[in-house]
Structure 1
C-alpha cells in the first residue's frame, strides 16, 4: 500500500494528463470512513474425519472463533479512528460438507441476519482453508441480491485458503467427499475452481477487498494456493504469517515477504512464490502452520485495515488470470529437478525496473541475509545452492 499522492503531484498529473494505464494497486486513504454498524461473519474450514486428525490435528478453527477475533479487530480499528460508538454484530456460520452444499446451507442461516447486513457500514468475512471459497461464494450471493448497501465497505480475511488446492502429493484414494473435493481446485477447468474464480471476479468488481494470508510453514496448503498467486487485482492484498515463537526472521522469510510486496504493488514476482511453495512445506505430522495463523490478532487487523483504509481505483479493473495456468504447484516435480528455474526467476525479479529504482535498500538487505542464512532442511539448502547463481545480482 502506498500513501496518496501530494496535492502538487495531483495537479501535475492533471495538467500533464495522458491516457493512463489501469491502476495496479491501491493507495492508503488520508481520511478513513466512519463506521457506525459493522458485522463480522466467521466461516470455518474443513473439519477432518477422525482418522485424519493424527496428521491434520484436532479441529480448533471454529466459525465462532473467527467471528469473535474479526469483531475484536473491528473494535480496535473503530476505537483508534474515533468510532467508539460502532455497533458490531458477530455471526458464526457452522456447517460441514462439500463446498456447494455448505454454501446452500450456510446461506439459509445467513438469511436470519439480512437486516443487520443491510444496515452495516462494514461487512467482514473471516474464513480459513475450505471456508475461504465458501465465504467468497456466500459474499457473491449477498452482493448479487443487493443486500449490502452500496456505500458499505466489504472485506474478506482469507486465511490459508485452498484456492489452488492442498499439496498434490497428499492426494489419496482414502480421501473421500469434502476432503477429496479440495484437490479439484488444482485444475482450473474443474467446476468448483471455475465457480470460485467467477465469484471472486464478481466480488472484486463490486469493490470488496480480499486479503489472502498464507502461513510460511503450512503443512497442507502451498503458499501459492493460500495467496491465490494466479489472480491479479488492485483489491487483492497478500501477506505471509510467520510465527516469531517458532521461526526467526531469516532470508527465506524476507524473500517471501519481498515477493508478496511486489505483487501488492502490481509488479510480477515471475513465479517466485510458486517456486518456493514446495521447499516451504511444513511437516505433515508435527507441523501446525496451517492452523497457527488464525490465532493471531494481527492477521485480522490487516484485513480490516485493507478493507477500510484503501482507495478505490479510478475506473473498474477486471481481475486478471494468466491465459494458460501451469499445473498445480507440486506437479512441478519436473521443474524442481531443473536447477536453473529458480535462479532464472530470481534474475527476472531483480531486473524489474521498479525493483532497481525503488527497492535498492531492500535488495541490499536480502544480500546480507543471504550470506548469513543457514537453512536447516534439505529442501531449503537446495534453494540456497540454486540462488548462489544470482548472488552477484543480489
Structure 2
C-alpha cells in the first residue's frame, strides 16, 4: 500500500491506495501510518486529495474514485447502500436495512458501517439513529456533525418526517404499506426558480439519461443560469447543447419574462398555489404539470398532488387495485383531500409505486 496525508477542516486524513495504485483501500482520521505503507503521492492519491479538497470546499457532492474496500458480502452490500445515500441527506439504520434487502438487520447494518474502511468517500456519516440522533462514528460524533453540517449548507432537499408520514399512514392504509416498505425517498430541491424552470424545459420529452447530458453541457457552455445571461445568448448558442430550436425559444422567452419582471419570483412566493400555476402557465412551453413540478421542487410547496403526472396516477391505481379508467378526476380529488396537507410527500411514495418495474413489487419489506 501507499499512503498520502490530506489536510482538511476536520484534521489530517491518511488516505491509502493499493500497491498497484488502482484503487483506494482505506482512509483513517490521523493516527499512525500503517506499516509497509510508504508516504508518497501517487497519481491516484493526488486525485483523491484533490477530490477531498473539493468536497470540503462544498464544490464536490459525489466522489469519482476507484474503491476496493475489503469486507464480507454483507458488508459490501451495506457499503454500496451507503454510496446510494445522496449528498446532504441522512437515512436511518432501518432505511439502510431495507436497501440491502433485510429490513430486520438494522443492528447488523450498524456493525457493518462501523467497519467501513473508507469513511467520507463511502459516506457512513449519513446514517443516523432514530429521531435523527447522531450515533456511532469511527471519527467521533463531533466530526460526523461537522460533515453533516457541511453537506446541509450546500444542498437542498424536500424535507419531511414522522408528522407527515403518520398523517399519510393514518389517512390511507394502502399508501402506508408503501411507506413502511421502502427507504425514505430523496428528491432534491432547486430553490432558484429560473434554474428550476430551465431544467424542466430541457427535460421535456427526453429520457433522464439524455437530460443529464444536456444539463451538464448547458452549465458548461451557457455559463451562469440567470435570466440576464441566458437572455443574452443567441439561438445557435442555446441549441449548441443539443436542444431543439423550439426549446431554445422557450428558454429565451422565459429569461425575458424573468428579466423584465413579468414573472417575479419574490412575488410568487407570497401567492397561492393556483395563482402561481396561472402565472407560470403564461410562459410559452409551460403547462400545468410543469408548473406543479416547480411548486414542489423549487418553491417547496407541501401539498401538491398532480393529476397530470402519469407516475402518480399509476401509483394510485396500483396500491388501490384500480384500472386506469377508474381513476377519474373526482376519485383523484378524493385522494388529494385525503393526503392534504402533505400531498407532496404522498407524491414521492406514489412515484415509487408507479415506477416499480413489477407489481406487486419485489421490495423486501412489502406485505400483501
**Normalised TM-score (structure 2):** 0.26
Larger RCO, structure (CA 8 Å, separation 6 or more): 1
* Bigger fraction of residues in strand: 1
Kindly name which structure, 1 or 2, has the bigger radius of gyration based on alpha carbons: 2
TM-score normalised by length of structure 1:
0.24
